[in-house]
Structure 1
Amino acid sequence: MSNTKKNWRGRRLVRFIPALVWMAVIFALSSRTGDEVGSVLPLFQKLFPNMTDFNWGHFVSYFILAAALDYGFGSRSDKLVMKVVIVLLCGLYGVTDEYHQLFVDGRMMDIMDVRNDMIGAAAWTILVSIPVVRRKWRRIAA
C-alpha cells in the first residue's frame, strides 16, 4: 500500500475521534449512580425550570453523537443509506449504554431511553438533510 493511501486512510480514521470521545463522555455519564444523577437534576432545573427528568439528555447526547458520526463519515453521510446507518449506530450504542447501566447502582435499563437516543440521532440526520444546513455543515466539517 502506498504512503499516500495510508495517509488518506489515517485522515479518515482521525475524523472519527470526536465520535469516540463523545461516546466516552456518554459512558462516563452512564457510570454515575442513581443518587449521583438525582443530585445533579436540581442544578439543571435551575437553568431549565420546566425540566422534570433527564430524558432530554438522551435526545441531546445522541443528536451530538450523530453529528460526530456524520463528521466522521464526511460527504458519504449525505446518502440516505448512511443517514440510516448513523441512526442505527446511535441506537446500537444506546442499547449497549442501557445494558451498561444494569451494572450501576440505582440505574436500570430503559428501552424508552434508547427511543430518545434514536430520536435525537434522527433529528440530526433530518436537520442536516436540509440543503442550506447541509451546505453550511459541509463547509464547517471540511
Structure 2
Amino acid sequence: MKYVSRWLPCIIWMGVIYYLSSQTGDDLGGWLDTIQLWIPFMKGFDWGHFVSYFVLALLYAWGLGINRLTLWKKIFVVLLCTLYGITDEFHQSFVPNRTPDVMDLRNDAIGATLAMLFVTIPAVRKCFERSSGVKYY
C-alpha cells in the first residue's frame, strides 16, 4: 500500500497529461496566448509542457522514495520525464490538429530539469524530506 500511495499522484498526473494531449488544438483554447501577452519575450515557449513536466518530475522523485536523491537519480528522473514526453508527442501525432514537436519535448526536459534543481534549494529540500522521508542531496 505504501508504494501505491507514493505512485498514485504520479499516475494521476500522467493521466492528466494524456488527457490534455488528447484535446485538439481548438479545444485547448487561448489561455496560453493570454500568458504570452503578459510575457511577450516567451512567445516560442510552451508553458503548458513546462509546468506539466515540472510537476511530473517532482512526483516521480517523490514516488521513487529513494533514501538520497543524488545527481544520478535526478538525471534518471529527468530521463523518465523525457521518455514520457516522447510518448506524449507520439500520442499527439494521432490527435486532430495536433502534431509532434521537438520544441515541446525540449520544454518538457527543461521543466523536469528545473524541478530537480528546485529540490536542491534548502527550504524546498527540507519540505520534501519532511513529507516523503527522502533525503535530497
Task: State whether TM-score is above 0.5.
Answer: yes
For the pair shown, the structure with the greater C-alpha radius of gyration is 1
What is the total number of aligned residue pairs between the two structures?
A: 131
Structure 2 stretches lacking a partner, 5+ long: none
Q: Deviations over 1:54-107 (max 9, x none)?
A: 701111000000111111012445122211110000000000000000000000
Report if aligned partners of 2:32, 2:48 keep a CA contact under 8 Å in 1: no
Q: In structure 2, do the counterparts of structure 1 residues 88 and 36 end up closer, same or farther at CA, with 3 Å as the change threshold?
A: same
Report if aligned partners of 1:41, 1:53 keep a CA contact under 8 Å in 2: no
TM (norm. structure 1) is: 0.81
Structure 1 stretches of 4+ moved >6 Å: none
Q: In structure 2, do the counterparts of structure 1 residues 42 and 71 end up closer, same or farther at CA, with 3 Å as the change threshold?
A: closer
TM (norm. structure 2) is: 0.84
- Corresponding residue of 2:77: 86
- Percent identity reads 44
Pairwise CA distance, 1:14: 2.6
Instruction: Give yes or no for the alignment of 1:98 onto 2:89.
Output: yes
Considering fraction of residues, name the structure with more helix.
Answer: 1
The RMSD of aligned alpha carbons is 2.2
Which residue, 89, 101, 122 being the options, matches 1:110? 101
